[in-house]
Amino acid sequence: MDILTLLINTLMPFWYLIPIFIILPIIKTAWFKGIFGEFMVNILLNNFLPKEDYHLLKHITLPTEDGGTTQIDHIVVSRFGIFVVETKNMKGWIYGKANQKQWTQKIFKYSGKFQNPLHQNYKHLKTLESALNISQDMLFSVIVFIGDSQFKTKMPDNVTYARGSIDYIKSKQKQLFSEVQVLSIIENIENGRLERSFKTNREHVAHIKEIVKAKENTKECAKCGAEMKIRVVKKGENAGNKFWGCSNFPKCRSMANV
């Protein structure tokens, strides 16, 4: 009996473990966590918002004025406004302020930065504002955190956990659109969205990579969250050397090495 045959015979009783070893690495990826988070929010919005008042659109890719694209997880259209929902499937402690470019995630000794989802969702709102030709007062940003996460800083009302997003959406009771306008908005979004396809997704990913590359030379102030700028020492023994200086100077005098 050769080695290959022996190996097959040995592993055959445990064939059911093979799919598990294949699936486990996929489950741990950021891609899967994002998909799963959106799936959970989709169930939430579908089951807890009355369908006669709220109309759910999902996975919307729209062209932007700069020639790129933007992807929106969920859009809820109602007489009470248009709610643009951004999903974050994360765990750990979450630190952040509305005006900071980056927020912090802490899991035990691990600490990492991620883009402020309010800023991320702002582009979605501006794209819809332009595409639909409506006032920004009729658009509401909603950030939903899915997963075992805990806010360690006070968050705005529109940054919340799963069920809290339903409460926030339902809290808006002032009628902004008629039923006819609601149907027209839905039609305009559906007509303006790009076709859901591999090509659309690939082009969007390429656009995001370009944005990330353009931001590689930027830095956020650790003290106040403002943008850091590269400056040059003008006097002293270090004259001519470059350093990161806070753009809020002289209110903030934070510095960092280049």
The model's pTM: 0.68
The verdict on residue 180 lying in a domain is yes
Domain that includes residue 94, residue range? 22-214
Exposure of 154 in the CB half-sphere (CA atoms within 13 A): 0
User: Could you tell me if 136 and 156 lie in one domain?
Assistant: yes
- Residue 257 near residue 243, CB atoms below 8 Å: yes
Of 38, 78, 57, nearest to 162 by C-alpha is 38
The verdict on residue 12 lying in a domain is no
State phi, psi for 76 to the nearest 5 degrees.
-110, 115
- Output the tens digit of pLDDT for each of the chain's 258 residues: 455 565 556 555 555 555 655 555 544 555 555 566 678 888 999 999 999 999 999 888 888 877 788 889 899 999 999 999 999 989 899 999 998 989 999 998 889 999 999 998 998 999 999 999 999 999 999 999 988 899 999 999 999 998 899 999 999 999 999 999 999 999 999 998 886 544 544 553 454 455 445 555 567 777 766 777 888 887 777 787 888 888 878 778 787 777
User: Could you tell me if 123 and 152 lie in one domain?
Assistant: yes
Burial class (CB in 10 A: 0-12, 13-18, 19+), 101: middle
Q: Which residues contact 91 (CB under 8 A, 6 or more apart)?
A: 107, 147, 148, 149
Residue at token pair 């920004």: 136
Locate the DSSP E strands across the chain: 54-63, 69-78, 81-89, 92-95, 102-107, 110-115, 139-146, 149-151, 159-161, 219-220, 227-232, 242-246, 255-257
User: Could you tell me if 135 and 116 lie in one domain?
Assistant: yes
Residue 140, number of CB atoms within 10 A of its CB = 21
Return the HEC string of 188-224. Answer: HHHHHCCCCCHHHHHHHHHHHHHHHHHCCCCEECCCC
User: Could you tell me if 107 and 197 lie in one domain?
Assistant: yes
User: Could you tell me if 112 and 147 lie in one domain?
Assistant: yes
Per the structure, how many domains does the chain have?
Answer: 2
User: Could you tell me if 148 and 228 lie in one domain?
Assistant: no
The verdict on residue 17 lying in a domain is no
Structure tokens at 155: 């968050």
User: Could you tell me if 173 and 232 lie in one domain?
Assistant: no
